[in-house]
A and B are shown apart, each in its own frame.
Chain A
Amino acid sequence: MAAADSPSTALRRRDLCSRGIRLAGKMRADVVDLLDTYVEQQGLDASATVAAMEGVPLAAVERWDEQTGTQRLLENLAAYRAFRTLLAQMLEEQREQLGEADAGLGRALAAVLLQVSAFTYHLEELLGLESRGIPGEEGDGPPPPPRLSLFEQKLRGLGVLRELAQWAVRSARDLRQLAKPSPATGTAPGLAESP
């Protein structure tokens, strides 16, 4: 249970949320563009259904509106940490597959990876405003995947980017929920309770 926020904490939270929302919006736009490029360069069918793959955080959530602020931050943090690792893997695979042949795709992937890292930082800062603290990263993130075929790698990459695009929308919504002032205590709704 946390006491009511100090004005500076509330201000810092609001500032982090609004910057995070803008970053999530930019990230989503860039991921959507990257998806188009990726599908084309990898010779995939844009309408292909990709089954949920191990280690790729799914944005889909039930009872989203009932989540506490803490839940939102923790789920977001776990997801973006996983995306950071997955995108780094994709970048590595990209370099192995195509070398310098497609620097454009590599640059776009790297740019999105940077934004994911920046967003992760925002989430860690927001969690830091709570008395809970930030969960450690040891054991976090997806286990190293079994060696996938080239085609499986491409499909996985498609799945990663699609889920990331969904997450970017979800995160903006989550941060808007967090930024709402709570009428009674002055804290953001849900942050005062632990799940």
Chain B
Amino acid sequence: MASVTLSEAEKVYIVHGVQEDLRVDGRGCEDYRCVEVETDVVSNTSGSARVKLGHTDILVGVKAEMGTPKLEKPNEGYLEFFVDCSASATPEFEGRGGDDLGTEIANTLYRIFNNKSSVDLKTLCISPREHCWVLYVDVLTGKRVGKVLHASLQSVVHKEESLGPKRQKVGFLG
């Protein structure tokens, strides 16, 4: 994530403030910043969302395609994640710089959504062992990348699946 250099006095000020439950912008330690979510921003996807949290701006698109289920899980569909930390976010991501962060975030997303209680993969099955829905989730980061993981989680859960027998899933991860 973006690194910030601060002087000793500033660090001391912030730490003392946090000890008294007052952040620099007046929030308490557990208060959230204003999050802005826009859905349906990309027209050629099944569902998309744009999340703005502070200086971080994330765009997520979800496309549903037919595929074959994985051998070890014949009754479930699956998700594929791709996170692109593009050079237009910050100069640090120029060239291959953003790839490491991108793969790290993608791996974390895989682990999170591997859980039955986040997304029920059984609903993505069409006919066992033959066909299933594969959801390709693409995350694009723009502007400064402070809380990418957090914001992309919110976006992904905000997508709409309106294909086939699946229900609409719109949720908000706080």
A binds B: no
